Amino acid sequence: MSDFTGLVTQTLGTSRIIDNTGESWADGSWFLQLQPGSWRGVGFVLDAGDTVAGRRVAIHEYPYRDDAWAEDLGKLPRRFSVQAFMVGDDVYQQRDAMIDACEQPGPGTLVHPTLGSIECVMLEFQVTDRRERGRVVEVQFSFIIAGDVQFPSTMIATGQNVLAQAGALNMASASDLGISLAGIGNVARQATAGISQFTSMASGSMNDASRIFNCVRGLQGFYGRFGTGSRTTMQPATATVQSVLSDATKARTAVYAAAGLVNLTASLL
């Protein structure tokens, strides 16, 4: 505080500025509350300072409505504008140190004489040398209050996650069904193994040459050595050799078709 008082004294000179209470600034409690200004440890003397604060508001205007909707988007990041100076025989060394501090990346600590210590990010810095103000260098700062670094975060899309889980469930179900069917596959093959033998026997019986002779047995009349006239089968009285042979051919075709269908069905099991 003594260094800060000394810097102010150099600017005020020996004059004692008096307010309406009759007390000088240097003797009042207000002056004792001030803190030495600095940015990243490099000091300065405050000349004037502006603070911008408030809320972020988006104004929505609509056709044929006289009013508007002011949408609150959160608190406005505080901004600080500082007009200050550095003084002394080593003022240019102080200026160079301040320039180095202002060119460092990232947030830093601003000690505001009236607001105290604040973590800020430097937006702009300007230094001014005036001919008529020897041993004094004027500086101007623009700061914005620093916040936490916000990195993008990953989120699971609910719809895609449901589809992925459903696909995994389908694959698991298909795998389980395949394992279950593989266990009963031998049973099905064993059950259908005798079907082909049966159909072969049925088809073979249709190819027996004696069927042709047996078809005409029981017909009324004499057919030489191929058949007698005795009625040994349930043939209608109107039956002829042609009708009996035609019926036998149709029955043979039907047996072949049925045997093929049975074999195809068995192969699919």
| Per-residue model confidence as pLDDT tens digits over 165-174 | 888 888 888 7
pTM here?
0.45
**Confidence at 261, pLDDT banded by 50, 70, 90:** confident
Q: pLDDT higher for 36 or 27?
A: 36
What DSSP string describes the chain? -HHHHHHHHHHHTT---B-TTS-BGGGSHHHHH---EEETTEEEEEEEEEEE--EEEEEEE-TT-SSEEEEEEEEPPPEEEEEEEEESTTHHHHHHHHHHHHTS-S-EEEEETTTEEEEEEEEEEEEEE-TTSTTEEEEEEEEEE------------HHHHHHHHHHHHHHHHHHHHHHHHHHHHHHHHHHHHHHHHHHHHHHHHHT-THHHHHHHTT-SS--GGG--S---S---TT--HHHHHHHHHHHHHHHHHHHHHHHHHHHH-
Average of per-residue pLDDT across 200-205: 67
**Confidence at 198, pLDDT banded by 50, 70, 90:** low
Given a cut of 70, whether residue 184 has pLDDT beyond it is: no
The 10s digit of each residue's pLDDT in 54-63 is 999 999 999 9
Sequence ranges of the chain with CATH classification 2.40.30.200: 35-145
Whole-number average pLDDT of the chain? 75
**Confidence at 85, pLDDT banded by 50, 70, 90:** very high
The CATH number of 35-145 is which of 2.40.30.200, 2.120.10.30, 3.30.1360.20, 1.10.240.10? 2.40.30.200
